[in-house]
Amino acid sequence: MTFSTQNIVMVVIIGLLGIGLYGVLISRNLIKVVVGLQVAVKGAMIAFVLAGRLNGKVDLGQSMALTVIVADTIVAVVALALAVQVRRKFGTLDIKSLTTLRR
């Protein structure tokens, strides 16, 4: 495996997806969960751009990455609004304290 641009970017993609998943799994704070999701989505975004470049269709890759950016921003907005509402309603951001179904 050589240190070509494409290999480096692939390692970055795998690393970002792994770090994002790790962040989602280990966080107790609702806002930190959103941070983990954002990190994982950035990996997917670079993957689209790299795939477009490898196929010779950079513009299609860019177009797909743009879709991911739009969806990602909406997810962040709604998730942060939910986190703020949860904080107002329950007084905490701890996801362990929000398990109201468990007694």
Partner 1 sequence: MVNFLIGAGILACALLAVRENRLLIAALWLALTSALVSFLMYRLGAADVAVIELSVGAGLVTVLFVFAINIAGDVSLDPHAPIPQLLSWVAVILSVLLLAWMVLPALQLEQYLELFSAAGEPGGMLRSVLWGERSADLLMQMVLIFGGVLALVGLISGGKQEKDGEENHP
Contact positions with partner 1 (CB under 8 A) in 19-48: 19-23, 25-29, 31-32, 34-36, 38-39, 42, 45-46
Q: Closest separation between CB of residue 60 and partner 1, Å?
A: 6
Q: What are the distances in angstroms from CA 72 to CA 58, 67, 68, 77, 89?
A: 21, 8, 6, 9, 25
Q: Fill in the amino acid letter for 97.
A: S
Identify residues 51-70 at the interface with partner 1 (CB under 8 A): 52-63, 65-67, 69-70
| 25 versus 103: smaller Cβ distance to partner 1 | 25
The size of the interface with partner 1 (CB under 8 A), counted in residues, is 76
The span from the CA of 75 to the CA of 73, in Å, is: 5
Q: Is residue 30 within 8 Å of 88, Cβ to Cβ?
A: no
Strand-pair partners of 94: 29
| 94 versus 103: smaller Cβ distance to partner 1 | 94
Q: Does 7 bind partner 1 (CB under 8 A)?
A: yes
The contact mask relative to partner 1 for 73-102 (x = CB under 8 A, - = no) is xx-xxx-xxxxxx-xxx--xxxxx------
47, exposed or middle or buried, with CB in 10 Å at 0-12, 13-18, 19+?
buried
